[in-house]
Structure 1
């Protein structure tokens, strides 16, 4: 895929599900991917609503990011519009993708947040986690300490420290949950973002690499995809 092509698709991503693309091309990432692939349009409220050819963990993560990202950050996801349809793979590959999303959220997003919270030892432990069990153990330790620090800060009325520690506890807990529910991995970036401006870029990089695991979506001609998106928008113009 050519980097920087996104403007050619001339489409606007919005949070939430939509009955049909409006005149401004407003849909979520998965709905846009359906239109671009030439599949019958459907509203997507959860990854289970996606066509069977969409990878469930990857579409769940993409949907979570789509709904959590601020408007200024959401265009990052346009780079993935042509990569979701046809990405579904075997149960083993989908499990590998789910593990990757959880592990890399711990290894990449939690460490800089933990550093900002003064928990450098846990940041190093998360970054060094080489497998999912080690990553989840590190995330559980971070969630426990973040909760304790937040409670102590509240008693001292140290509001900024408490907010940061609460973010640590919330994001670390989401990372643990992501091992079983891929959409929770998006909550890691969402919880870190107020204190970590690069969180959304890190999350997009994780999605990019997860899409390289297993079956790749078949190539979709860029201009044909644009024409399909334009046609869908024209219906509502």
Structure 2
């Protein structure tokens, strides 16, 4: 979409659709239109409403890895950042694709999480060499290996700092190691990439905009379905708020 990495992007859809994104799953949208990202996308697509606790609860037309990543971001983001996801309310229905495309999406989420979200955390934890290795990883295998090494090195740094009572340095290294551990595991589970984003965001608030940009890029892999027209989505969401959907 090209503008999702800009501050406040997504807020326009928040106002146009008159809907609020909230963490967690919800039995049915109330008058305030509060649901998670995937529940809102179900309403916008005109599908029967359902509470969504994981990507497995989404309709079959939703890409499982994209829905999992979006749900993870939705639940982890601070309230002020969550409107960045509103644009995806119109794009998740119809995003399901064949195994090769879905695998490519998972690979993109994992690789770019390592390359773009981990380095700032590692640099602030005093691990510039590990940050550089993550940033330079050109393939999924290289990214996973770099994240694994970063997790091990950060863990060792945390232990060494604790032995000499450098508690702040140790806590910073431990937090960076947590982000790296999640990132290394995200090649097998797209939701884990969102966990890595949450851990990395402790070091840089800009992490959230970058994570949303990564989701946008992953949606463009393959042949994405046309977005739900804004006017139609707004009508459907208004009906849901009124309890007549």
Give the TM interval when normalised to the shorter protein: over 0.9
Q: Per the alignment, in what secondary structure is the counterpart of residue 243 of structure 2?
A: helix
Q: Alpha carbon RMSD of aligned pairs, Å?
A: 1.4
- 1:132 and 2:143 equivalent? no
Match of 1:41?
49
8 Å CA contact 2:28–2:51 kept in 1: the answer is yes
8 Å CA contact 1:88–1:215 kept in 2: the answer is no
8 Å CA contact 1:82–1:217 kept in 2: the answer is no
**1:135-154 equivalence runs, <5 A:** 135-154=143-162
Match of 1:211?
219
TM superposition outliers: structure 1 runs of 4+ over 4 Å: 1-4
Q: Deviations over 1:54-107 (max 9, x none)?
A: 000000000000111111111111011111000000001101100110000000
8 Å CA contact 1:73–1:200 kept in 2: the answer is yes
8 Å CA contact 1:46–1:63 kept in 2: the answer is yes
Match of 1:84?
92
TM-score, normalised relative to structure 2: 0.93
* Deviation, structure 1 residue 2: 9.7
8 Å CA contact 1:58–1:182 kept in 2: the answer is yes
Match of 1:111?
119
* Deviation, structure 1 residue 215: 2.6
Match of 2:71?
63
Aligned partners of 1:70 and 1:157: how far apart in 2?
A: 32
Q: Deviations over 1:181-235 (max 9, x none)?
A: 1000001110011211111111001001011001312232101101111110111
Structure 1 residues 41 and 192 mapped into 2: Cα distance closer, same or farther (>3 Å)?
A: same
Q: Per the alignment, in what secondary structure is the counterpart of residue 81 of structure 1?
A: helix
Aligned partners of 2:181 and 2:136: how far apart in 1?
A: 18
TM-score, normalised relative to structure 1: 0.96
Q: Deviations over 1:150-197 (max 9, x none)?
A: 112222222221121111111111011111010000011100112111
8 Å CA contact 2:62–2:94 kept in 1: the answer is yes
Aligned partners of 2:90 and 2:2: how far apart in 1?
A: 11
Q: Deviations over 1:108-141 (max 9, x none)?
A: 0011111111211111111111100000110001
Aligned partners of 1:69 and 1:193: how far apart in 2?
A: 9
How many pairs are equivalent?
Answer: 236
8 Å CA contact 2:120–2:203 kept in 1: the answer is no
Match of 1:175?
183
Unaligned runs of 5+ in 2: 4-9
Aligned partners of 1:219 and 1:25: how far apart in 2?
A: 20
Match of 2:206?
198
Q: Per the alignment, in what secondary structure is the counterpart of residue 30 of structure 2?
A: coil
Unaligned runs of 5+ in 1: none
